[in-house]
Amino acid sequence: MGVIDVLLLIAYSMSLICALLLIAALFLYFRRRLRAKAVSLFMVAAFFFLSAYTVQMAIALWIRFTAVPGAGAVLASLQTEALAVAQTGTTIGLLILTLLVFTKRQDLFIVLQEGKKGGASHADPDTNQ
């Protein structure tokens, strides 16, 4: 392995670790927000992007560790297809985030409601008379 390969392994590993830590922190955020029944659309898009990016970094590490002369064509094809799917997810996440930022819609929330009982909505005060 050359110097570039070692640097890439270090960079990919650090990116993967940071992304996993961020996903764990976002998971805690989503748990709190789901209990409050409102989740920021921007944070959902960021979580989607970060998840796709994490998969992409894991695949990049997989490719780097298995980059040996004479690797099977099936393995190379599988790695290429997996990387294409991860890159597509990353690109979709970036497009959503870019759209939200440039339309100044970062403050959109998804409000989750339980099933309606007796026609009263979740936001209505309880009127059991």
How far is residue 34's CA from residue 67's CA, in Å, rounded to a whole number? 42
| Number of other residues whose CB lies within 10 A of the CB of residue 40 | 18
Summarised one tens digit per residue, pLDDT across range 58-89 is 888 887 777 656 557 667 777 778 888 888 88
Please, which pLDDT band fits residue 119 given cuts at 50, 70 and 90?
very low
Please, which pLDDT band fits residue 117 given cuts at 50, 70 and 90?
low
Summarised one tens digit per residue, pLDDT across range 5-46 is 778 778 888 888 888 888 888 888 888 888 888 888 888 888
Structure tokens at 125: 């005060």
For residue 115, the model assigns a pLDDT of: 58
The model carries a pTM of 0.63
3-class state of residue 69 by DSSP? coil
Instruction: Give which of 71, 66, 54 is closest to 13, Cα–Cα.
Output: 54
Domain parsing of the chain, residue ranges: 3-107
